[in-house]
Chain A
Amino acid sequence: MKYLDANEETGGNRIIITVIGPDRVGIIAGVTGILAENCINILDISQTIMQEFLVMVLIADIEKSKIDLLELKNRLGAKGGELGVRIDAQHEDAFNFMHRL
């Protein structure tokens, strides 16, 4: 018997990192530095300016990550505090489930 499994639909272990806040030097370096340290591969980066705020979205693969998602969130959150921006990381399924069937 096979039950529906939430993770089955995308199969992957991809996360979406969002950065929102005033633009300044060092945001991309700060975020990507943490990802590189922990063997997290960046698949896509896009950014835009919305109402004078920087909005950056990174899609990353945490398959080979040295730390789990919760720990990564903590480190990114701390880095966001230093940089004066809000950084969050969520499993990709949260977005796929809402916007894709």
Chain B
Amino acid sequence: MLTMQEIMETIKMVQEEHLDIRTITMGINLLDCADTNPQKACNKIYDKINRLAGDLVPVGEAIAREYGIPIVNKRISVTPISLVAGCSETGDYMAFARALDRAAAEVGVNFIGGFSALVHKGITCGDEKLINTIARALAETERVCASVNVSTTKAGINMDAVAMMGKVIKDAAALTADRDGLGCAKLVVFANVPEDNPFMAGAFHGIGEPEAVINVGVSGPGVVKKAVERATDHDIGTLAEIIKKTAFKVTRMGELVGRTAAARLGVPFGIVDLSLAPTPAVGDSVAEILEAMGLERCGTHGTTAALALLNDAVKKGGAMASSYVGGLSGAFIPVSEDAGMIRAVEEGALHIDKLEAMTCVCSVGLDMIAVPGETSAETISAIIADEVAIGMINQKTTAVRIIPAPGKQVGDYLEFGGLLGRAPVMAVHPFSSDRFIKRGGRIPAPVQSLSN
């Protein structure tokens, strides 16, 4: 029999500590929707998403109420559109973006991911058409999210793609200048991208995945923060134990929700993504966990070590709680979505270089970072190159979601609202990387032994 303390602990986590399931994401294979006639392909895509995901939102809402745990987002990921649209006789993939947007609106999800291309070694004709459409797709649709994988540990870094993505990000910002560059918030550039990530904006349904699948992303920075705060006098080893136990409990809820949703929707359960995903709500912050460990401000010396401890303990606790773990699985450090990160930037404690160092020990990368609008495409490409190099060498996923804030300088703010939050514009280095980026070509795959 459950004890009253256990029951109250669960209630408290939800009511006071922001415990929620961040997302239930249905992955849908669209390879069978390919057609030489693009209009036919788009119709098939629209119909298939409606058929498979029609019940996703009502089922998610019913589960949330029965178990008394909020499920913040219901979302869809699809096969990378560059693969689906490749055989269609068209040079413009906007029709595909619009079909995804309409389908997402019809089934009631706020984001659909998979306007994506995998170009870590080379770029096909279909990939190129897709990449050339991304900026417009993000500006002219509401719900579509795009991602491009430019590097893997096995293939190296495709520097031609890195150079292209710097320009795409600048274009996406320019085309959505009236909305503070919102298009860039829906675009992620990856190294070692996972095929089963449930989190936007980088979610897509990988080619090794089944016809349809349910993946779940848990959250819970607020719960971990409270647990760390209660452990004021404990040593680091004990702290790690406390975080593990907390992560276990958080992940169990994700496991329960994922299994239940999959059973009710009649599709296999894929994975639980063990990520600590912050929200702009006060108290639901990864930065505040690090500060609760004993750092005056996130970004100061010791931050990388504290984050490494946190990230590893979350994985250890979470891995025991779920039958299948996957996706990104690590602490997220998006600046605009984390009240503690925003404060650290405002107070001068946290800079882009420290964030880059932090991404070496956590998921996922330089996320939701605003830089001055005048930042060149080449500098953005160089920032991407640095970040994916960390992923490539360390055999981990890294990513960049960066917004060159139209018309804004250091000290200004971007205001997206909702889960995307608000981002203080951060300084970049003033020295040029142009010649390096303009060389093009590929960085060869790294040697895997000699691992220092």
Tell me whether A95 and B6 are in contact (CB under 8 A). Answer: yes
A41 within 8 A of partner (CB): no
Closest chain B residue to A48, Cβ basis: B4
- Chain B: interface secondary structure? helix
Closest chain A residue to B257, Cβ basis: A6
Closest chain A residue to B263, Cβ basis: A5
B338 within 8 A of partner (CB): no
Given known A-B contacts A48-B4, A57-B4, A5 and B259 have beta carbons under 8 A apart: yes
Q: In the bound complex, what is the Cα–Cα distance between A98 and B249 (angstroms)?
A: 5
A79 within 8 A of partner (CB): no
One of B7-15, B86-94, B235-243 at the interface: B7-15
Given known A-B contacts A70-B65, A91-B67, A94-B69, A46 and B4 have beta carbons under 8 A apart: yes
Cβ of A67 to closest chain B Cβ, rounded Å: 13
Tell me whether B11 and A97 are in contact (CB under 8 A). Answer: no
Q: Which residue of the partner chain, among A44, A59, A98, contacts B253 with CB atoms under 8 Å?
A: A98
Cβ of B147 to closest chain A Cβ, rounded Å: 30
B242-258 residues with Cβ-Cβ distance < 8 A to A are 249, 252-253, 255-256
* Residues on A with beta carbons closer than 8 Å to the beta carbon of B4: 46, 48, 55, 57
* Residues on B with beta carbons closer than 8 Å to the beta carbon of A55: 4, 8
Contact-residue size bin, chain A (C-beta under 8 Å from the other chain): 20 to 34
Chain B 54-74, CB-CB to A under 8 Å as 1, else 0, gives 000000001001111100000
Q: Which residue of the partner chain, among A4, A48, A59, A95, contacts B269 with CB atoms under 8 Å?
A: A4
Q: Which residue of the partner chain, among B8, B66, B255, B323, contacts A97 with CB atoms under 8 Å?
A: B255
- Chain A: interface secondary structure? mixed
* Residues on A with beta carbons closer than 8 Å to the beta carbon of B7: 16, 18, 57, 95
Q: In the bound complex, what is the Cα–Cα distance between A44 and B1 (angstroms)?
A: 10
* Residues on A with beta carbons closer than 8 Å to the beta carbon of B66: 69-70, 90-91
Given known A-B contacts A4-B323, A73-B65, A93 and B10 have beta carbons under 8 A apart: no
Cβ of B229 to closest chain A Cβ, rounded Å: 18
**A-B contact number at CB 8 A:** 75
B447 within 8 A of partner (CB): no
Cβ of B355 to closest chain A Cβ, rounded Å: 33
B2 within 8 A of partner (CB): yes
Given known A-B contacts A6-B263, A55-B4, A93 and B269 have beta carbons under 8 A apart: no
Q: In the bound complex, what is the Cα–Cα distance between A37 and B67 (angstroms)?
A: 23
B260 within 8 A of partner (CB): yes
New A-B pairs, 7, CB < 8 Å, besides A3-B268, A5-B259, A96-B2: A4-B323, A6-B256, A7-B260, A57-B8, A94-B10, A97-B253, A98-B249
By a beta-carbon cutoff of 8 Å, the part of chain B in contact with chain A is 1-2, 4, 6-11, 62, 65-69, 249, 252-253, 255-256, 259-260, 263, 268-269, 323
By a beta-carbon cutoff of 8 Å, the part of chain A in contact with chain B is 3-7, 16, 18, 20, 44, 46, 48, 50, 55, 57, 59, 69-70, 73, 88-100
